[in-house]
Structure 1
């Protein structure tokens, strides 16, 4: 980057990045909130009610966001999900009973006759509303359970669901700062409310109730708070508020950005005794704060200019080094900025509607996969592991997969881990959701299906899997053997790009280590290399064999083992021996492929499934052949036979070989893990 380009570059950055920052600096509360009744701004909080000289003097106050918000998704004609977080405190007078209470309110109008807590009075012409009330008085006529409860109201001050807050450890009238989270999920038709004295949301909501708000709310609604004192006297203060609506793609709709629509901090006040000059004092503070803000912005701009000079020099010196690093491939070191989020079990259950079978999209030997939805993550794949009662988090395929994914894996052709949960008897991993499902389901659809992968899509899929395995085998800080490469574990995104997943059987080794422990062979028959079945020792070449089966599967459209017992590897070898290799091409392609490219892919597949693991290429080399960057492989005219020599403490160079053509699925479980192939 030539330094002479700094001025235009700076102005570009200023108008693209800094100017929006100036326009979106946190505004003062009066700029984006409208107050009604007795509500006023004080001590960096909204005080909704005023302290009256007598206990029976009623006080009602409301605060609404200045603009109505859209709650109807015009594309789906359904109510958008929403989420709100706010902090409040309720300060009671020592000489008077507590006031009515405080409510978080979504209403179609800001002007209405009021009932308890300032909620709208129901009438044929009244506005519709939804409220979460924090009730501090007991009114049996409204169905109150006590004078310290949280409840949900829809178009009526009589609650349809309520819970005793004190029984959950929350005293609404304690005067402490309380944080509340309110969430509505349209996908599951559920409202949930959390309460805590801290800023960390508890794992379990204090109140959860099924309700379809699409039948209750209108297209545009006003969002805010209301409170009243009734026969008592309390101050209801809102210290911090954040509100977001989401459509079904988890994008912010017609609403304030995900930042705060009102932001202030807990004041040093009891809420009583403000004099008549309090509003004037607030205006003076605003002017002073604005001056400080402008000074800070000026300092920020100057700092950015200085930083750009430094960056200019740095980039000029590092240009060669960056290019070299890119040529060496992606780093596989731990990236703290992408650490998956720990989720609570309640969030997982909510995302999957209680692991509803209608949400089940996949099932394996150790886990089931559900399609889920997270408010701030969109669609996700929730992998729920089977767990025995005597197992803990460290003795389960969950632990292997979690440790592998968290510690090392960041690649565009690997399914990305988003979150996890280890709570009670549940072990769950949350992955990105890939809409086209597994390659197995797409490749082996009904023969008459109108959806058939094109030749270009198949080439792209094979190269994507090759890139993922090259990354695991050669580019990671530690070498990772997947041990379960198959079409069921290859997922396809919206553009049919391949992403390798399911690391429940993965093994991690140091690149310099030559030690491989023998284990009971794990994986899926049809994809297992013969030497691995016999020895139980996983290597890079056992993954190469599985990759070769996938290549043959993609090219031929055949399953690794057909229903009649035909093995795709043997089938393609037999065609090669008869010089009819092209006949292995998937007939559903109807000849829409280049014959030389098809033969090239089939030859690469056969080379990768060579019975002699020493004759198999690395995945990187196989990819170069597919991309025509290396010559076609030379294969023997007939399928070679497998030659095995068992390993034992008394083995000598004269130990006879075991010669065989293949292993059956019946033999595999009983083969000794102490052997070696030559």
Structure 2
């Protein structure tokens, strides 16, 4: 038996193995492990969100700036001891480039693999992007080799003719082996890139989403990494500027590399060494090895069966006999075992936490069997009855919806007294982070794209599905942004289904967020499509003005700032553009801005009967007019008690039977 086990160990050593490197920095908010900053690079940290500024100082002969962000441990790119196998890798990152002024362009940034350890080039210049020296045509020495994908914003003499903005693949020279010219000013603002290297084909490829585009720019070239680079490399980003000042930021970075290692060939014996005794010994060893392997396989199967039964018992917490929800199976959401979600989040590790709310927390996860990155909402273990109700509602409603502007529910789990929901991972977090936090600055075209996406989601929910879905909690923190900054509405915990013929549903108590909640809902407790339209109008004004709906004023008179009232007052004085977000620096289309604000006020009208449907609002937004005619002063809501009908019932001014107060509005003279 001992000899058989020894043979088994030898066999296992001969099996092929793989070396992997994997890390994911969703933000750079804290002292990030394994990240080194070189040159002028510095972390810009505030609150829970942070990024890295690659070009923040002046340290080049030209008066420009050069900086690097490097993953500190060496990365095994290829291995000469196993036949020279080369790794495959994929990296995804979000970044931004912003000139200090419209006349300042140059020079750009790059993702690189370089000789380890990473060293800043001596006498570098802006045009070299922090990759090499000022001698652009000179191949680096053996200790300074690099392969890079550049995002260049300035045409130098060695660059291809065409536009300033271009992407390129560089192999030991800043003169690219392959380039793709882009329209000028493409490489400005927020971008997401995916770079992939396939070791079988030796193809290095780039996909770049820029300026909110849904279609990526592509670039690829065959690159022999084994001849271009040493076995161990440093991976990271570099950026540089010349006399013109340009800001380069890295917001997130995900990297995965796999190096398949062939097994050792062992000792090869000559034909003369083969004998009858060797054959017999080999047969005996083989039989023993087979017995050991069979025993191990049976033991593993028995253990797995026992663990599976134990997990099923632990995860079946519907002891009351009432299923938590019924969902059609097939292509829709599925129930996940609890242990799968625990493993996907590294046991709900703190570094995987994406956010925290009153319901619990949201974690980043990776489902290996699906090859999918996900966001997992974990309700607090002591969730109240209302919390469980929201959990059920969210599964019931969103599991049946399919729209490009809705966050997709992938699955759920209710095991070990835990409530968990699994969503697609939306990489650019919520709109709230970028409007009021430390996220990416949103340009006006990006903001227009976001509000139109939100409007399309509501149009689907209100009018295009089999029932009217009232969301009841529309606000920037529930509007997620994908890699191209397209809007995806999420969090359906308060949503309700209403038949189209009914139109209104009375709630036991009003739910929503102050500032976004329809004032009538607070009084009547009624949920309707019109109450969602009100919230949509507030979000439109918030996106255009860059201010929260309710906040303390800048002065000290202790009165609350109310966004709708403020914008309506400016509208009445013919100065609505004064409400535009100052951070836009007047870089917007005035007609378009006025349209968004007018529609926002229209939707946020105090009287729900004066509000447009979401279809009518979207028609104006998409055509940029004609604008609605609104009173110069914001109507004042007056809540009157319901009148008694001739039959003795309480009825509203619209003739609808009601036991609640009725809203009417008057316009001040």
CA 1:372–1:654: 2 relative to 1, 3 Å: closer
Q: d(CA) in 1 for partners of 2:3 and 2:476?
A: 73
1:453 counterpart = 2:439? no
Shift of 1:363: 2.1
Aligned to 1:383: 377
Shift of 1:377: 3.8
Contact 1:387 1:396 in 2 (8 A): no
Contact 1:452 1:589 in 2 (8 A): no
Task: Report the 3-state secondary structure (helix = DSSP H, G, I; strand = E; otherwise coil) of the residue aligned with 2:615.
Answer: helix
Shift of 1:513: 2.7
Shift of 1:557: 0.4
Aligned to 2:367: 374
Task: Report the 3-state secondary structure (helix = DSSP H, G, I; strand = E; otherwise coil) of the residue aligned with 1:441.
Answer: helix
CA 1:559–1:404: 2 relative to 1, 3 Å: same
Q: d(CA) in 2 for partners of 1:634 and 1:652?
A: 38
Task: Report the 3-state secondary structure (helix = DSSP H, G, I; strand = E; otherwise coil) of the residue aligned with 1:547.
Answer: helix
1:591 counterpart = 2:570? no
1:401 counterpart = 2:394? yes
Task: Report the 3-state secondary structure (helix = DSSP H, G, I; strand = E; otherwise coil) of the residue aligned with 2:564.
Answer: helix
TM-score (norm 1): 0.51
Aligned to 1:529: 518
Shift of 1:454: 0.7
Task: Report the 3-state secondary structure (helix = DSSP H, G, I; strand = E; otherwise coil) of the residue aligned with 2:623.
Answer: coil
Contact 2:541 2:564 in 1 (8 A): yes
Aligned to 2:660: 674
Match of 1:539 among 498, 523, 528: 528
Aligned to 1:195: 304
Aligned to 2:19: 71
CA 1:603–1:65: 2 relative to 1, 3 Å: farther
CA 1:514–1:438: 2 relative to 1, 3 Å: closer
Match of 2:620 among 625, 633, 636: 625
Aligned to 2:356: 363
Task: Report the 3-state secondary structure (helix = DSSP H, G, I; strand = E; otherwise coil) of the residue aligned with 1:401.
Answer: helix
Match of 1:418 among 388, 395, 410: 410
Contact 1:419 1:430 in 2 (8 A): yes
1:344 counterpart = 2:337? yes
Q: d(CA) in 2 for partners of 1:544 and 1:465?
A: 11
Shift of 1:631: 1.8
Q: d(CA) in 1 for partners of 2:424 and 2:377?
A: 11
Task: Report the 3-state secondary structure (helix = DSSP H, G, I; strand = E; otherwise coil) of the residue aligned with 2:527.
Answer: coil
Q: d(CA) in 1 for partners of 2:344 and 2:646?
A: 57
Q: d(CA) in 2 for partners of 1:650 and 1:437?
A: 51
**Higher CA-based Rg:** 1
1:485 counterpart = 2:479? no
CA 1:418–1:655: 2 relative to 1, 3 Å: closer
For residues 546-580 of structure 1, the C-alpha deviation after alignment (integer angstroms, 9 at most, x for no partner) is 00000000000011112332111111011112211
Aligned to 2:610: 615
Aligned to 1:511: 500
Q: d(CA) in 2 for partners of 1:562 and 1:656?
A: 37
Shift of 1:628: 1.1
Aligned to 1:563: 552
The 5 Å alignment of 1:295-374 reads 336-374=329-367
Shift of 1:367: 2.8
Shift of 1:442: 0.6
Aligned to 2:266: 111
TM-score (norm 2): 0.51
Task: Report the 3-state secondary structure (helix = DSSP H, G, I; strand = E; otherwise coil) of the residue aligned with 1:71.
Answer: strand
Q: d(CA) in 2 for partners of 1:197 and 1:468?
A: 46
Contact 2:523 2:661 in 1 (8 A): yes
CA 1:537–1:655: 2 relative to 1, 3 Å: closer
Shift of 1:512: 2.3
Q: d(CA) in 2 for partners of 1:56 and 1:387?
A: 52
Contact 1:457 1:496 in 2 (8 A): yes
Provide the aligned C-alpha RMSD in A.
Answer: 4.3
The 5 Å alignment of 1:69-468 reads 70-73=18-21, 108-109=263-264, 111=266, 173=295, 179=301, 195-196=304-305, 203=311, 336-375=329-368, 376-388=370-382, 395-406=388-399, 408-445=400-437, 451-468=440-457
CA 1:196–1:612: 2 relative to 1, 3 Å: same
CA 1:173–1:390: 2 relative to 1, 3 Å: farther
